[in-house]
Every structure is written in C-alpha cells, then in structure tokens.
Amino acid sequence: MEHRELLAQAVKAAEMSYSKYSGFSVGAALLTAEGVIFKGCNIENASFSLTNCAERTAVFKAVSEGYTKFSAIAIAGSGDGDFSKPCYPCGACLQVLSEFCGDDLVIVLADGEYRLSDFLPKRFCEDSMK
C-alpha cells in the first residue's frame, strides 16, 4: 500500500465526517500489519466533549474486528474541502494509537511522513505502572 494511496483513503473517509458543530471534517485510514485498511471519521456530539476523533474511530473499528497491529495511519482534515494542509493528530489520539503501535508507526499527513515518536517521544504506557 502506497502511502499516497492511504492518504487518499483518509480524504475519502472524511466524506462521512459528522461535524456539524465545528464544520471541520477529518478522515483517517489505518493500515494493519496484515494489509487491511480501516477508515474512520470524526463524530461530533451536541455534548461537545463526547466527540470522537477520526483516528480513534479507525482504531476502535479495527480493534473491535480483531486487528491490533498497525503499520501506518493517514490523516486528512479540512474545513472547506481543501485537504492540502496537514491535520496533525491530537494528543488523545496519539495516546490511543500508542497503546497498539510502536514508536515506528508511520503517520502520513498532507505535508509528509512522520513517526509516532515525532509527536509523542515519551508516553504513559503499561511499563509506566510497574
């Protein structure tokens, strides 16, 4: 799977965005170690704090279907249909991703490719509680 294609899938996923409050559509395309893609979008709520980001939607879909190893995630976000600017992942999504991915998870954005460790160099994890 080419990362450019994964980004195109993220833009496609944003079509399903339920974002009537912010007007900001986000899509994510999560690539599993097996080569399966799970798409997700942001899902907002009138009780704003219950909003679920696109990345977490994709992760929860994948994990609930038995996939827990991921190699890459593409993220695309836009308020006006122009997805050329990068949509950086929020801290909550990085933490959720880190539960299932190593530092080397590839994060594909409109301005290039990153690793999870670029955004979250240190993190709270299972070992933090030992």
Q: Write each residue from 1 to 40 as x if it is in contact with ligand THU (CB under 6 A), else as -, in one continuous string.
A: ------------------x--x-x-x--------------
Among 14, 31, 39, 89, the residue binding ligand THU under the rule CB under 6 A is 89
Strand order in the sheet with 25-32: 37-41, 25-32, 70-78, 106-109, 112-115
Catalytic residue status for 55: yes
Of 5, 34, 55, 99, catalytic? 55
Please state, in angstroms and rounded to a whole number, the distance separating the CA atoms of residues 58 and 30.
6
88 exposure class (CB count in 10 Å sphere: 0-12, 13-18, 19+): middle
Q: What is the DSSP letter of 72?
A: E
Among 13, 29, 54, 73, the residue binding ligand THU under the rule CB under 6 A is 54
Kindly indicate which of the ranges 1-9, 53-61, 65-73, 116-124 contains the residues binding ligand THU, using the contact rule CB under 6 A. Answer: 53-61
Q: Which residues are the active-site residues? A: 55
